[in-house]
Amino acid sequence: MSNQSVVVIGGGPAGLREATTVAELGQQVTLIEKRSYLGGMPIAENYSNLTPYFMQADEAMGAIISHLQSLDGVTIMTDTTVTACTGEAGNFSLAVQGKDGPASVEAGAIVLATGFQHFDPGRETQLYGYYEFPDVIALQDLEAMMKEGNIVRPSNGEPPKRVCFVQCVGSRDRQIGNEYCSKVCCGIASKEAIEIREALPDTEVFIFYIDMRMYGYWESQIYWPAQEKHHVQYVKGIITEVLPKNGQLLVRGEDTTMGRPMEVMMDMVVLSVGMEPSVGTREMSALLGVKQNKYGFVEAVNAPLDTVTTSQAGIFAAGAALGPADLEDCTSSGGLAAAKAIGTIRRSMAVAG
Amino acid sequence: MSNQSVVVIGGGPAGLREATTVAELGQQVTLIEKRSYLGGMPIAENYSNLTPYFMQADEAMGAIISHLQSLDGVTIMTDTTVTACTGEAGNFSLAVQGKDGPASVEAGAIVLATGFQHFDPGRETQLYGYYEFPDVIALQDLEAMMKEGNIVRPSNGEPPKRVCFVQCVGSRDRQIGNEYCSKVCCGIASKEAIEIREALPDTEVFIFYIDMRMYGYWESQIYWPAQEKHHVQYVKGIITEVLPKNGQLLVRGEDTTMGRPMEVMMDMVVLSVGMEPSVGTREMSALLGVKQNKYGFVEAVNAPLDTVTTSQAGIFAAGAALGPADLEDCTSSGGLAAAKAIGTIRRSMAVAG
């Protein structure tokens, strides 16, 4: 007898979409989240506004969480981690550890939505002084500042007069092993640059980039207005060093368009850190025996014409657990993964009679 | 009494994924395709290999078509166009015109998967001589050549010794009204460049680009090997003119990295034409009363946390009907759209009792 319930592991944008889709299709779903709250990175890292439409992150995530909670057949387990998995497609049994101790959850199919973590800019190369100089921050630190409506230099609490973003920190970098492009950082940095310009109209904002990867509509939604309406200054260049100097930050590198060395003074430097598989993605992949690619993300074994099937029958993945992903990717792949999970259960039931 | 069937309009990658997903979930689906065959652009335009894994296009599309045909509850109508639509979510009635004359198709929900067309490089600006000079071709023309295993200059039937790709033809261009980036052209041009280098090892291949938008894994899957293994030569530059000269093509522009004018001789020029809404996307959107964005693509009114819902209840869209999309986008959004369509039918039935 096969089990008709789907287990979704991870309560961020992809996992919420999966659980919602399963429930909307009339199937039982259990959403397991190790944090004490749902919403994933946008909530955990205090994102201010979502890319590309500047939707307030709390409100947007809150709306989809409320909708999920309103649906029949949904069980949400926060503060819960998966500790073991036995069985097979149609009949999985998960051991979980929650607030109230260990428990068991049965499922016909499993969807991994365990997401990403931000690259740690203190690691190995690209040492831009994130841990040394208070005014060197990362994309998510600026989100949290903007959420509080308080864009200031951490060193002195004053609004910065000159801010720059350094792109590709932890991405496109063979030395650290992350050869891939993290896909979203160009868009997010540009969105944040616009928000700085709106909040602090006298502040100059620069973005140092290798290629501006504003694919699809991001080009017209973010990149053009950033330049034309908000006067964000894009400079094709490589930043090699950030040093403190006279109470500011000296940013050294090469302006690759002008073909000359560049030294500029900034009040604040924002590192556009890339995406890496989260600890949860690594741990759950190993626990479930799902093949990971060389970077530790879950491998979609039938891509590109099936984006969510993993190496294990009955186990699917969606969102940034599969690699760099924007919100639209998470939403779409979450929907396909949910449908695939239910399809697995239907087939198991047909076989089981 | 609501209708339990889903109608999918368009039989390309997104539509095939939608129809497959609906059928795998046990629901009736009718796939309507105006061409006499399924497979969409990869088949219609004779693509050789799919990006990024170099899967043979005929085989890959053939496999998903065969799988769809093997499922229960699937009706495929080729050579068929939709001529009218009445009703509402839960109860649509479509008038269609097929090989055997007019017919009527009932549906509880509709999914638009009418896709894109390649930008016509003879239109308005960016006049690179596509219609004047035989050795100026477009991405899809080269695909068709490669499918036949015969990469030659159309003017003389000889293999080219020097080939260049010109990026952003019909994209990122306000004058023609396509401000968006078409997203896939950097990847496809690079894939084709690799294939030329493999087929013709003595041929030099150049790619003239503004930004190399090799987002996500395309960076490590295509861009790095193109440079390091296959020695494709990437030049950041703007091409302004292509002229015939001494039996070759004189390509004029600016090398923006070197900051100087550039004149190079080529045997063949490949225009990396962008994506525009197909005639089907424009016509079906109008016929169904679905809101289009300023470019004519279908508007996803709840993006980014719902990528497939249109302005009309019960009508969803997926793939390149929504805007520039790679195969993974088409697959993922196809899955979500299928699930959303079935969800609509479930709700209608619950209301109808």
Q: Which of A102, A111, A108, A105 is nearest to A10 (CA)?
A: A111
Q: Rounded CA gap, A41 and A302, in Å?
A: 27
- Among the partner-chain residues A13, A55, A305, the one whose CB lies closest to the CB of B60 is A305
Contact status of A305 with chain B (Cβ, < 8 Å) = yes
In chain B, residues with a C-beta closer than 8 Å to the C-beta of A336 are 17, 21, 331-332, 334-336, 339
Question: How confident is the model at residue A126, as a pLDDT?
Answer: 61
Which pLDDT band, with edges at 50, 70 and 90, does A27 fall under?
Answer: very high
Query: Which of B248, B274, B300 is the C-terminal boundary of a domain?
Result: B274
pLDDT digits 0-9 by tens, A266-322: 999 999 999 999 999 999 999 999 999 999 999 999 999 999 999 999 999 999 999
Q: Where in the sequence is the domain holding A67, given as residue range(s)?
A: 5-115+278-352
Query: Kind and range of the H or E element at A65?
Result: helix A57-70
Residues B111, B123 share a domain: no
Shortest Cα distance, chain A CAs vs residue B46, angstroms: 18
In chain A, residues with a C-beta closer than 8 Å to the C-beta of B338 are 335, 339
Residues B11, B99 share a domain: yes
Residues A258, A297 share a domain: no
Average confidence (pLDDT) over A63-82? 98
Query: Which of B274, B306, B322 is the C-terminal boundary of a domain?
Result: B274
In chain A, residues with a C-beta closer than 8 Å to the C-beta of B346 are 24-26
Q: A63: nearest CA in chain B? A: B305
Q: Which of B159, B182, B170 is nearest to B128 (CA)?
A: B170
What's the mean per-residue pLDDT of chain B?
Answer: 96
Average confidence (pLDDT) over A80-104? 97
Which pLDDT band, with edges at 50, 70 and 90, does A59 fall under?
Answer: very high
Residues A63, A182 share a domain: no
Q: A210: nearest CA in chain B? A: B211
pLDDT digits 0-9 by tens, B160-190: 999 999 999 999 998 899 999 999 999 999 9
Residues A260, A135 share a domain: yes
Question: How confident is the model at residue A256, as a pLDDT?
Answer: 84
Q: Is the pLDDT of residue A353 over 60?
A: no
Contact status of B188 with chain A (Cβ, < 8 Å) = no
ipTM for the assembly: 0.96
Residues B111, B142 share a domain: no
Residues A241, A124 share a domain: yes
CATH number (domain holding residue A40): 3.50.50.60
Question: How confident is the model at residue B126, as a pLDDT?
Answer: 61
Residue B205 token pair: 């291949």
Question: How confident is the model at residue B257, as a pLDDT?
Answer: 80
Which site among A18, A29, A191, A213 would you substitute to test the B interface, given the most B Cβ atoms closer than 10 Å to its Cβ? A213
Rounded to the nearest 5 degrees, what angle is found at the Cα of A226, between the Cα atoms of A224 and A231?
Answer: 115
Q: Is the pLDDT of residue A44 over 90?
A: yes
Query: Which of B241, B274, B307 is the C-terminal boundary of a domain?
Result: B274
Kindly give the parts of chain B with pLDDT less than 70. 1, 124-126, 353
Domain count, chain A: 2
Contact status of A337 with chain B (Cβ, < 8 Å) = yes
Residues B49, B137 share a domain: no
Contact by Cβ (8 Å): B344, B109: yes
Shortest Cα distance, chain A CAs vs residue B23, angstroms: 9
Average confidence (pLDDT) over A178-185? 97
Q: Rounded CA gap, B121 and B137, in Å?
A: 9
Are A331 and B305 inside 8 Å of each other by CB? yes
